[in-house]
Amino acid sequence: MVVLAIVLSICGLLTSFLVVGIIPSIIAFGLSIFLFVREKSINLARAMAISVVGIILPIIMYLNSFGFGLPTVKDERLGFLTQIIYDNYSNMGLNMDFLLKEDNLLSTVFFEKSNRGPDGDEIYYVSEGATMDSLKEAKENVEKNVAAVSTPEGYGEAASDEGAEGSSKKGILNEVFFDDKEPDSIFESIDSKEDSEKDYGADRIGPSDDDIPSYGGLPMGTMLLGQYFREDDHNCNPILVLQNKTQESYRYECRFIARDEEGEELATSEKTVEVVKPGDQFVFEGRFDKALLEGKLPDMYEFSVTRRSPYEKDMSEYVAVSSKMDSNTAVLTANNVSDKKVKVDAYVLFFDGDELVDCIWMIPQNTGEVCIEPGSAASIKGDAYYRFDRIETYYTAYEAVGE
């Protein structure tokens, strides 16, 4: 029995580096105490010490990942245990991205991947405008499109063909999940422009951005209204326009992943929208610096949208936001009629015809802080990278606590 206690405590310690070792460690600790009461020996004391370490280590790993709160889903590709492993060993500088890949040994054999968001909401997947049964299927659909492209000219043709196919399916997306009328245009339709210029300014036409293939997961009740891709001399950014179709207010989080033609990760970009009330529309913009990509443009984008209960108080009903065009500039004004300081996060999308040419994040303020004083208004303006003929504005407003 002494040997059993020692062996069990050692096994528990070794497997505790994968979190699951806490179970055999607890058993070994209980057995060691039981035997130590009957027969005091140095070997049993060692078994107790080893098993205590095997219990403490997984607890520390949990705290490093989730803190003192309940566990939340940070990425739907990771389960509870794999999330802890990913967080802890990534913080140590190890590359744990293999856990994010579909059908990896650790996820499929030992741990079940999650298909739910932080509030327990079910995730559904989309690829090129069509709904998919899994993230794997969505990714495979995009990879087929990327693999079919051999030249930049061919890429434009492939994107156009696929866009037509996606257009025929997007009605299904609305019918199945939302039973809602199809918007006029869900996905950006881009045609090549022979008179595109490399420079920028009010008299310059934005470059024709090929419709980069993308796929990802969204919480049920979150509707994908628009999907764009913009590029300039310094950045290449995917943009999502979403709507909260539920009856609850949520804080939304999005993780964009830029991938090459083999599906390997090039870079990531994470964004948060603090609070979105029922029915409101909002924007996520992934930002990828070309310098960090070493001049290599992504072949596809993956996005993962999750939601949770908001930390901030929604103040949108107390704020009136308007925007107007002035030459090559957009001017946005926010009027705070409440008795509290309010922060407004606004995205202005600039279009030349049907093509998105720029997206600017604007935060109007009239104090030394990024907020608007009670009973006052603030304006901000932004210059588009290329010429435009219309704008769309999306904003959220919430109480500026601590500002």
User: At residue 230, does pLDDT exceed 60?
Assistant: yes
Size of the chain, expressed as the number of residues it contains: 403
3-state class (DSSP) for residue 100: helix
96 burial (CB, 10 Å; 0-12 / 13-18 / 19+) is: middle
pLDDT score recorded for residue 54: 92
- Provide the pLDDT for residue 116: 54
Mean pLDDT throughout 179-208?
42
Domains in the chain, start-ordered, CATH in brackets? 2-110 (no CATH), 123-308 (2.60.40.3230), 316-399 (2.60.40.3230)
pLDDT classification of 165: cutoffs 50, 70, 90: very low
The pair phi, psi for residue 164, each rounded to 5°, is -65, -40
| Rounded Cα distance, 100 and 184, in Å | 35
pLDDT of residue 157: 37
pLDDT single digits (tens) 346-383: 999 998 888 888 888 999 988 777 889 999 999 998 88
In this prediction, residue 176 has a pLDDT band, given cuts at 50, 70 and 90, of: very low
251-270, pLDDT tens digit by residue? Answer: 999 999 988 888 888 889 99
Report the alpha-carbon distance of residue 148 to residue 162 in Å, rounded. 11
**What DSSP string describes 117-186?**
-TTSPBEEEEETTEEESSHHHHHHHHHHHHHT--SHHHHHHHHHHHHHHHHHHHHHHHHHHT--PPPS-S
Residue 392 DSSP SS3 = strand
Per-residue pLDDT reduced to its tens digit, 320-351:
999 999 888 899 999 999 999 999 999 999 98
Are 328 and 201 a contacting pair, CB within 8 Å?
Answer: yes
Give residue 100's pLDDT band: very low, low, confident or very high (50, 70, 90). low
Taking residue 175's Cβ as centre, other Cβ atoms within 10 Å add up to 12
- Quick check: helix, strand or coil at residue 191? coil
- For position 130, what pLDDT does the model report? 67
Residue 71 pLDDT greater than 90, yes or no: no
Mean per-residue pLDDT for 193-198? 39
